[in-house]
């Protein structure tokens, strides 16, 4: 792997971005690419938005009129990517994270915002590399294993399961 350019843009004002969160996003992107033994220089765009903004994007691009935690917009298909002519980098695509939803989920699951944003970044990076989980089968399980492997590498292992507590 050569050079990794992660462009992070904050387009919301509802949640203050904690110190170190941008670096965590970059580290997470790097960890996924290393784990996948991705070759060549790459560019990834990460945009941080609020719930309303991600709801609008979800409606526009997925015909789902609801908030979600993260959206992935891959630029490649079957290992073929657009190339930035100025840098010769493969353009993997765009990640959009709702920081409001990440805060809600971190609280719901009882872990840190850093863990939640790291997980969402790893999840989305795997989508940019062609992974999918819509069939609820083996690919979903494989993706989940890779996400947890990345979280452990970054020092953010799962502290609890993702099973909801009915008493909460």
From the number of C-beta atoms within 10 Å of its C-beta (0-12, 13-18, 19+), residue 22 rates as middle
> Is residue 43 a contact partner of residue 7, using CB atoms and an 8 Å limit?
yes
Bridge partners of residue 95, in order along the sequence: 46, 72
Of the candidates 90, 95, 12, the residue with the CA atom closest to the CA atom of residue 46: 95
- Please report the pLDDT score of residue 157 as a whole number: 84
User: What are the pLDDT digits (tens) for 62-117?
Assistant: 999 999 999 999 998 888 899 999 989 999 999 999 999 999 999 999 999 999 99
CA–chain centroid gap for 156, Å, is 15
Distance CA 99, CA 48 (A): 6
Rounded mean pLDDT, 132-142: 78
Distance CA 137, CA 140 (A): 5
Query: For 4-153, CATH number?
Result: 3.40.390.30
Segments making up each domain of the chain, as ranges: 4-153
Confidence of residue 1 (pLDDT cuts 50, 70, 90): low
- DSSP-derived 3-state class of residue 36: coil
**pTM value?**
0.90
- 41 Cβ neighbours under 8 A, 6+ residues apart: 1, 2, 3, 4, 5, 87, 88, 89, 90
> Is residue 92 a contact partner of residue 128, using CB atoms and an 8 Å limit?
yes
Spell out a b/e string for 126-152, using b for 16 or more CB atoms within 10 Å of the CB, else e: bbbbebebeeeeeeeeebeebbeebbe
């Amino acid at each position: 792997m050569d050079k990794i350019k992660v462009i992070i843009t904050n387009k919301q004002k509802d949640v203050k971005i904690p110190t170190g969160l941008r670096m965590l996003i970059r580290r997470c992107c790097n960890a996924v690419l290393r784990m996948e033994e991705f070759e060549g220089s790459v560019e990834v765009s990460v945009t941080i938005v609020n719930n309303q903004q991600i709801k609008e994007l979800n409606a526009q691009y997925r015909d789902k009129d609801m908030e979600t935690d993260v959206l992935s917009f891959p630029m490649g298909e079957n290992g073929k990517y657009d190339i930035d002519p100025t840098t010769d980098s493969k353009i993997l695509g765009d990640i959009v994270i709702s920081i409001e939803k990440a805060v809600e989920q971190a609280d719901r699951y009882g872990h840190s915002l850093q863990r939640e944003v790291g997980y969402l970044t790893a999840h989305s990076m795997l989508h940019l590399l062609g992974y999918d989980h819509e069939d609820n089968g083996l690919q979903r399980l494989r993706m989940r294993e890779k996400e947890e492997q990345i979280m452990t590498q970054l020092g953010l292992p799962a502290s609890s399961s993702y099973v909801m507590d009915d008493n909460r």
